[in-house]
Amino acid sequence: MAKAMKRLAKRTVNVGAISKLKPSACAAMMDSPLGILTLYGNGHALTAIRISEAPLLNKVANKTELNAGAHDAILNKAKQQLEKYFKGKLTSFDVPLEVKGTPFQKKVWNALSKIPYGKTASYKDVAVMVGNPKACRAVGTANGKNPLCVLVPCHRVISHDGSIGGYTGGLSKKRYLLSLEAERDAAR
């Protein structure tokens, strides 16, 4: 099973038939310290990153075809940058991004992108950044629906009291990302 997942992680697949993405969408899988990441793109931009589970990989492998189209350039760039990030050699990303969400969600995700590498902000801080200081819970909800984990750094948002808060990918993954960035930031 592990060998099969590693082989799948190197493939680019057309996921139009099994996802809500447009039929021209592509996905690529990669190994990471968080688990297997599935990166989705539309040929012009990265549209989502998901932390994949083995059953999803089996579903993708059985129902899709390899696609070696133009989408590879965006997905390969994202994969290369993520690999450097996880090695502590990259602190910001320049992959084109395209997300779907409500205007409020997009404001929150834009604010998340402004939280510096190695730093954190509270849900309240983000609410202030988006111009609605009382919207802490709404910020938390938007944060949890961030489709581009790591690149749009929702892991940098913590509770106002300094506790870690939540993370859609799981608290151990959030702790890992915060620790990775803190170590790299301290070394600079």
- Per-residue pLDDT tens for 59-81? 444 334 334 333 479 999 999 99
Please tell me whether residues 68 and 120 are part of one structural domain. no
The answer to whether residue 98 sits within a structural domain is no
Pairing mode of beta strands 26-32, 157-158: unpaired
Give the predicted TM-score (pTM) of the model: 0.78
Cα–Cα distance measured from residue 48 to residue 110, given in angstroms and rounded to the nearest whole number = 15
Q: Tell me which of 26, 136, 149, 154 is the catalytic residue.
A: 154
Q: Tell me if residue 154 is catalytic.
A: yes
**Tokens describing residue 5:** 């997942």
Q: What are the pLDDT digits (tens) for 30-59? A: 999 999 999 999 888 999 999 875 444 444
pLDDT of residue 67: 44
Of 178, 99, 97, 104, residue with least CA distance to 141: 104
The answer to whether residue 51 sits within a structural domain is yes
Q: Please answer whether residues 129 and 142 qualify as being in contact, where contact means their C-beta atoms are separated by less than 8 angstroms.
A: no
Q: In terms of residue numbers, what domain contains 139?
A: 103-187
Q: What are the pLDDT digits (tens) for 118-170? A: 999 999 999 999 999 999 999 999 999 999 999 999 999 999 899 998 888 88
Please tell me whether residues 111 and 164 are part of one structural domain. yes
The answer to whether residue 81 sits within a structural domain is yes
